[in-house]
Each structure stands twice: as structure tokens, then as C-alpha cells.
Amino acid sequence: MENLTPVSATLGGALIGLSAVMLMGLKGRIAGISGVFSGAVFAEPGDRGWRAAFVLGLVLAPVIYLALGGPAIAFELEANWPLVIVGGLLVGFGTRLGSGCTSGHGVCGLSRLSSRSMVSVALFMLAGMATASLIKPVFGG
């Protein structure tokens, strides 16, 4: 493993867990990003504020990290843009079909021992492995 970062990974995981617990404790809501984002756009006006703040925090956190002197994380996008766009649309469709995303099912659902989330996460993982195994050889992604 060339990018093993156990300290930052542990801290990041702890912060994700803390935010999920806080959202459940303070608002009685599950921290599933697709549901939070969808609700920020389509929910009743009285339920949009915390959702918009949550999504804004997701966007601003890396900006603040860089502003405080954190190193930029270099990455190279190996897929072409049409493939990325189609993949994003398929992920959005999948979150609606699966009644949640990896954060809702994987982080929150598994910690609550939800059988629906256990099945969903297993299917996410299988679909991801199958897609990665097929897309690169077929499309050169």
C-alpha cells in the first residue's frame, strides 16, 4: 500500500462517526449524503436549513483545510469525462433505487445493525467490484 495513512484515516473515520452520531442525536436523522442532499433541494422549506448547512460543510471542509495550510491531495482522473458523467448519473439512480447511499447504509445502517443496510452494502461492494473489473478492459476507463 503506497498511500497508507493510518492516523489521518482514523481521525477522518472518527469525525465521520461523530457527525453521524450528532446528527442522529440532535435531529433524529441519518447522515446519508444522498438523502441529505436530495432533501436540501426538494424538502419542505422548514427542513432545508440543516440540510443545506450539512452539504455546505462537505464542500467547504476541504477549502478550509487548504486555507489552513493542509497539503493539496494530488490525484489523476484516469477516466474520460463522458464515462464520469454516466457513472455519476448511475450512482444517483442507484441511491434512489437502493433507498440510500454508501454513507447512509454503510456508516449509519451497519452501525445500527440494519439488515436492509447489510444487504445494500454487500450489493454496493459486489456491483463496484464487477463494474471496476468490466469497465476498464471494455472502455479503457
Nearest-CA neighbor of 30 among 49, 51, 13? 51
pLDDT reported for residue 118: 92
Cβ atoms of 49 and 57 within 8 Å: the answer is no
Cβ atoms of 117 and 110 within 8 Å: the answer is yes
**Binned average pLDDT, 10 residues per bin, the chain of 141 residues:** 77 89 89 86 84 91 91 82 87 80 84 90 88 77 55
pLDDT reported for residue 66: 92
pLDDT reported for residue 88: 85
Q: Rounded to two decimals, what is the model's pTM?
A: 0.71
Nearest-CA neighbor of 58 among 98, 29, 31, 81? 31
